[in-house]
Amino acid sequence: MRKRLLFAFFAFLYYVSSAQTYEIQYTNSYNGKIQTEQSPTFIWVNGSENFILNNSIREQKSEYPFEITKIEKPSNTIVSYGFLKPDEIISTADKESVARQTFELTNETKKILGYACRKAVTKINSNTIEIWYTGDLKISGGPSVLGQNLGLVLEIERNKNSLITATSIKKVKKTNIADIIKGSITSTDLLGYKDQLWKSRFTTLKVFENETINFSDESKSDEKIKRFANGTIILKKVTFPKISEGENVFIELKQQSNGDAYDRTGTVFFIPQNKSQSFFDGLEKGAKTLPVYENGNGKQYYGIIPTDNYDPSIEMMRFFTAFGIQKFNHIQLKGKDWQTISPYRQDITELKPSLSDKELWIGTFIGNYDKGGHTVNLEITIHKSDQTVYKNNTVIPLFNTVNIMEMAGQDYSTMFNAEKGLFVEFTLKKDLKNAQLRYITTGHGGWENGDEFVPKVNSIFVDGKMIFSFTPWRTDCGSYRLYSPASGNFPDGLSSSDLSRSNWCPGTVTNPEFISLGDLKAGKHSIQIKIPQGPTEGTSFSSWNVSGVLLGIQ
């Protein structure tokens, strides 16, 4: 009888303990310094559930999106709630992750807030995680999904520098979790949940979705997409939100061959429209309606430099298609498993001042003469960030010699065969501090002796003084061989896509050079680009696609 009473008594104590809800607050620190900018983590835990959130969420002051995690006991099912918007909540359940956790249990002990704790160690993605847990309270839980089977986790240390540790434990009669997790909740699978939560953390502007860029008389504009130069240019008007100083802007284009087997020049650009004439006028009325540039070599180049009434297009990203990716993947070579898509992604935060809170024509050009051409997807994403690498508030277009209207009669950029090269005059209405030239350059043309395959020095002069000189050259083109199934193979064992080139490779983005110009005073200035362009050989000629915008603070 006495044994039964004792058993019943201890069972009652366990029930009371497991039914009791504890509120435990934790602080985050890094290298011994408390991370005051982070809202403290805390949990509500009892024998049936463990909620993980933070003070901002509890006080319903957290910015969207945010996440609350619940671990159901004793199954240790992880239920995640993603709050994407005030009226949009998604959830998913994971019944396996906790069971898969493995730990090395050590004999080390210490006390945290008066409770005897033991240490367990695990490794995750090359990170060493040390977990201190206690069995004194007869419940399991913690500020992370890690260690839910061990006991009550009071401290987690990662790589001896990142620490989350309990600072207070108290009993509570009830929580306000029902006031936070309420309303309609949409359940989804784990990958779908992660994808939706991830994408909700930034703004996505869809520009082009599965659009064809080709050469065909049948290419026509529609209500959303304008097409020019026989379909080699596509254009769409995009509305940008106001972009704050603490946000980054990225552009991402994905490209596949839809019939064209060759490597081609591509560019993503936008059209400034703050003057009486714009590049858009040239698209609609013809390249020769744009301002002309002449440097004494007998040729005329239209729409490439600014005037009082015109600004050239601003290049966002220069890219190059690979040899026939996807469409020509049927070409088999031993040991080669071809990629199916060429991705191009680039940080363009420095252009933010000219994008923020504006409606702009965004265009993409791929120079080709193929009816199938290429298929592209383009989006721009805006991300909240603590990085402030680019602090310029001014973007001034200076030149863009990429012959975007090539298939509508715009000439190749061969102006560097004259001593004058490219010469641009511009006027600053105000002083420009910390001025930089955002300069993109690629050499083209010819075969073995053309500037595509011969290194050439680019020299930049400001107000008659050379301020920068370099040789743009890429030697890593062979790294992208698997993007080029139609690349020709030569008797020497190389493929065309292996060859080094003047600042580009098939299947890659060409990065801008950021050239410091110091402080520029208000008034008239000049910038000159000189390149020793190679001579014409029969029908083969060389050219250089260069674009430049002036960045700085006014």
Give tens-digit pLDDT for 326-368: 999 999 999 999 999 999 999 999 999 999 999 999 999 999 9
The phi, psi pair for 530, rounded to 5°, reads -120, 130
Query: Which pLDDT tens digit goes with each residue over 367-384?
Result: 999 999 999 999 999 999
Confidence of residue 15 (pLDDT cuts 50, 70, 90): very low
> In terms of domains, do 44 and 21 share one?
yes
Type of residue at 188: T
Q: Would you call 187 helix, strand, or coil by DSSP?
A: strand
Distance (Å, rounded) from C-alpha 241 to C-alpha 247?
12
- What is the mean predicted confidence (pLDDT) over 238-252? 95
363, β-bridge pairs: 235, 269
On the question of pLDDT at 10 being above 50, the answer is: no
Distance (Å, rounded) from C-alpha 132 to C-alpha 164?
11
Distance (Å, rounded) from C-alpha 102 to C-alpha 318?
48
The residue ranking higher by pLDDT, 56 or 2, is 56
> In terms of domains, do 175 and 226 share one?
no
> In terms of domains, do 220 and 324 share one?
yes
pLDDT for 35 equals 86
On the question of pLDDT at 386 being above 80, the answer is: no
Q: What angle (nearest 5°) sits at the alpha carbon of residue 301, between those of residues 300 and 305?
A: 135
> In terms of domains, do 86 and 229 share one?
no
- What is the mean predicted confidence (pLDDT) over 272-289? 96
On the question of pLDDT at 63 being above 50, the answer is: yes
Smallest CA-to-CA distance from 342 within 297, 374, 307 is with 374
Judge residue 316's burial from the number of C-beta atoms within 10 Å of its C-beta, 0-12 exposed, 13-18 middle, 19 or more buried: buried
Half-sphere exposure of 160 (CA within 13 A, CB side): 0
- What is the mean predicted confidence (pLDDT) over 130-150? 96
On the question of pLDDT at 2 being above 50, the answer is: no
- What is the mean predicted confidence (pLDDT) over 467-484? 98
Confidence of residue 5 (pLDDT cuts 50, 70, 90): very low
pLDDT for 73 equals 95
pLDDT for 36 equals 84
> In terms of domains, do 146 and 211 share one?
no
CATH number where 133 lies? 2.50.20
The residue ranking higher by pLDDT, 364 or 3, is 364
> In terms of domains, do 25 and 80 share one?
yes
Distance (Å, rounded) from C-alpha 132 to C-alpha 121?
9
> In terms of domains, do 262 and 382 share one?
yes
Query: Which pLDDT tens digit goes with each residue over 20-30?
Result: 999 999 999 99
> In terms of domains, do 432 and 487 share one?
yes
Structure tokens at 105: 């249990």
> In terms of domains, do 447 and 406 share one?
yes
On the question of pLDDT at 462 being above 60, the answer is: yes
What is the value of pTM for the model shown?
A: 0.91
Cβ atoms of 554 and 430 within 8 Å: the answer is: yes
Mean pLDDT of the chain: 94
> In terms of domains, do 190 and 278 share one?
no
Q: E strand or H helix at 132, and its extent? A: strand 127-134
Q: Would you call 280 helix, strand, or coil by DSSP?
A: helix
Domain span at 171: 2-196
On the question of pLDDT at 18 being above 80, the answer is: no
> In terms of domains, do 96 and 6 share one?
yes
Cα–Cα distances (Å) from 424 to 219, 306, 464, 532, in that order, read 35, 8, 11, 18
Cβ atoms of 15 and 9 within 8 Å: the answer is: no
Share of the chain above pLDDT 90, in %: 90
pLDDT for 389 equals 75
* CA 29 to the chain's CA centroid: 29
Cα–Cα distances (Å) from 41 to 51, 56, 151, 397, 428, in that order, read 11, 9, 18, 48, 51
On the question of pLDDT at 197 being above 70, the answer is: yes
Domain C-terminal end among 165, 196, 227: 196
The residue ranking higher by pLDDT, 312 or 449, is 312
Domain C-terminal end among 196, 218, 233: 196
On the question of pLDDT at 245 being above 50, the answer is: yes
285, β-bridge pairs: none
Q: Which of 54-63, 295-304, 429-438, 509-518 has the lowest mean pLDDT?
A: 54-63
Confidence of residue 423 (pLDDT cuts 50, 70, 90): very high
- What is the mean predicted confidence (pLDDT) over 252-272? 98
Q: E strand or H helix at 97, and its extent? A: helix 97-100
Half-sphere exposure of 102 (CA within 13 A, CB side): 2
Tokens 């009325």: give the residue: 285
The residue ranking higher by pLDDT, 388 or 254, is 254
On the question of pLDDT at 387 being above 80, the answer is: no
On the question of pLDDT at 6 being above 50, the answer is: no
On the question of pLDDT at 206 being above 60, the answer is: yes
- What is the mean predicted confidence (pLDDT) over 478-490? 96
Cβ atoms of 242 and 287 within 8 Å: the answer is: no
- What is the mean predicted confidence (pLDDT) over 466-476? 98
pLDDT for 37 equals 82
Confidence of residue 9 (pLDDT cuts 50, 70, 90): very low
CATH number where 439 lies? 2.60.120.1570
- Counting the structural domains of the chain, the total is 2
Domain C-terminal end among 179, 196, 213: 196
- Which residues have CB under 8 Å from 303's CB, separation 6+? 279, 282, 287, 290, 291, 310, 312, 313, 405, 410
How many CB atoms lie under 10 A from the CB of residue 318? Answer: 26
> In terms of domains, do 221 and 237 share one?
yes
